[in-house]
Amino acid sequence: MEAIENKVVEPPSEESILVEAARSGNIGAFESLVRRYDRNVFRIAQHITQNREDAEDVVQDAFLKAYQNLGQFQGQSKFYTWLVRIAVNEALMRLRRRRPERMVSIDEDVKTEEDSMPREIADWSPNPEQQYTQSELKDILGKTIQGLPPSFRTVFVLRDVEGLSTEETASALELSVPAVKSRLLRARLQLRERLNKYFKRRDGDSRP
Amino acid sequence: MKCSEFLKELTDYLDDTMDPNTKAELEEHLQWCHNCYVVCNTTKRTIEIYRGSQLYELPDELRSRIHSAIMTKCKCHQNSLEAVESVKDDGVATTGEKPS
């Protein structure tokens, strides 16, 4: 006997209504999609390229490509995940152009597990980020994430900064879920290790 | 549970995407292993600090410049598509005409 499935028909999301309208030539609908996601795409682009001008170009090129290829968007994934995939590819292409001497690929699997094993186990001060001004903190975080391989910082930014799920990150990067998890673990551990020197508890810090 | 086994599960633990039994084992390990407790705690803080950092925000002025550039390019693309369509339509009309 066949199992009876209760199929729940969900109402179309605001995003899918805008995408459908944009596909039918409503440029105003596409403009709304740009406004909805331009900040996210810029953040992702700058995290990957680590260059402001490149990030600006990536945002423009990614949205233009999305507009030109709306007809090919199947609607199997969210529009945002599809847009992120386009933006990540554009950003990696820019990075390759800027650093032709280094292989830049989302597939690169840098070294082994040992590169992420914690070396320094030091507890941090309570609210360590408050020891620095906003601009000092941004400088520290920027320099720290810049030191990660592009494939690690891409996974970290999508998953932990932008809040995509592991599955959405895998889909946007065309990686398997285990590959995303492995890179994410190593990215998180490497960032933690590098932030130790700024945030670790020093003698004289009051206990929480 | 060894510390290396704990580390392997750290991402799922922090994301709270694991079965209750494994979670209980990890929490039992955290009770007595100070090193793993510190690594877990500081990794969690790393994520929170980055998430709340507003690193690489798009300033309003740059945002409006990028926005205008995108929409200009999209309209250009739309116009060129419409021009191609109208040439096609004219072609069909011409070829479709029967000689009088």
Domain assignment of residue B18, yes or no: yes
Spell out which residues of chain B touch residue A169, defining contact as CB-CB under 8 Å. Answer: none
In percent, how much of chain A has pLDDT > 70?
A: 84
Domain assignment of residue B20, yes or no: yes
Domain assignment of residue B31, yes or no: yes
User: What tens digit of pLDDT does each residue of B4-47 get?
Assistant: 899 999 999 999 999 999 999 999 999 999 999 999 999 999 99
Q: How many angstroms separate the CA of residue B92 from the nearest CA in chain A?
A: 22
Query: Across the interface, do A42 and B66 touch by the CB < 8 Å criterion?
Result: yes
User: What tens digit of pLDDT does each residue of A191-201 get?
Assistant: 999 999 899 88
Query: Across the interface, do B58 and A43 touch by the CB < 8 Å criterion?
Result: yes
Q: Which of A131, A45, A34, A124 is nearest to A79 (CA)?
A: A34
Q: What is the pLDDT along chain A (208 residues), one digit of tens a residue?
A: 455 555 566 677 889 899 999 998 899 999 999 999 999 999 999 999 999 999 999 999 999 999 999 988 887 788 999 999 999 999 999 998 887 656 556 555 555 455 667 777 788 888 888 889 999 999 999 999 999 999 999 999 999 999 999 999 999 999 999 999 999 999 999 999 999 989 988 766 654 4
Domain assignment of residue B84, yes or no: no
| Chain B residue with Cα closest to A62 | B70
* Helix (H) or strand (E) run with residue A79 in it: helix A79-98
pTM for the model stands at 0.84
Fill in the amino acid letter for A56: E
Long-range contacts of A70-78 (CB under 8 A, 24+ apart): A70/A19, A70/A22, A70/A23, A70/A30, A71/A23, A73/A19, A73/A23, A75/A16, A75/A19, A77/A168, A77/A171, A78/A15, A78/A168
Domain assignment of residue B32, yes or no: yes
What is the model's pLDDT at position B6? 92
Strand segments, DSSP code E, in chain B are none
A34's tokens: 């740009």
Total tally of structural domains belonging to chain B: 1
B92's tokens: 């069909």
Domains of chain A: 14-98 (1.10.1740.10), 113-199 (1.10.10.10)
Among A25, A63, A191, beta carbon nearest to B70? A63
In percent, how much of chain B has pLDDT > 70?
A: 89
Domain assignment of residue B43, yes or no: yes
| Chain B residue with Cα closest to A138 | B55
Contact between A67 and A30 (Cβ < 8 Å): yes
Number of H helices, E strands in chain A: 8, 0
> pLDDT category, B98, cuts 50, 70, 90?
very low
What is the b/e burial string over A37-75, where b = at least 16 CB atoms within 10 angstroms of the residue's CB? bbebbbbbbbbbbbbeebbbbbbbbbbbebbeebeeeee
- Can you give the residue range of the structural domain that contains B15? 3-51
d(CA A163, CA A110) in angstroms, rounded, equals: 24
d(CA A199, CA B2) in angstroms, rounded, equals: 27
Q: Does A68 touch chain B (CB under 8 A)?
A: yes
Q: What burial class does residue A202 get, using C-beta atoms within 10 Å of its C-beta: 0-12 exposed, 13-18 middle, 19+ buried? A: exposed
Fill in the amino acid letter for B83: A
Domain assignment of residue B45, yes or no: yes
Among B11, B47, B49, beta carbon nearest to A129? B49
Spell out which residues of chain A touch residue B7, defining contact as CB-CB under 8 Å. Answer: 117-118, 185, 189
Domain assignment of residue B82, yes or no: no
Q: Give CA A189 to chain center in angstroms.
A: 17
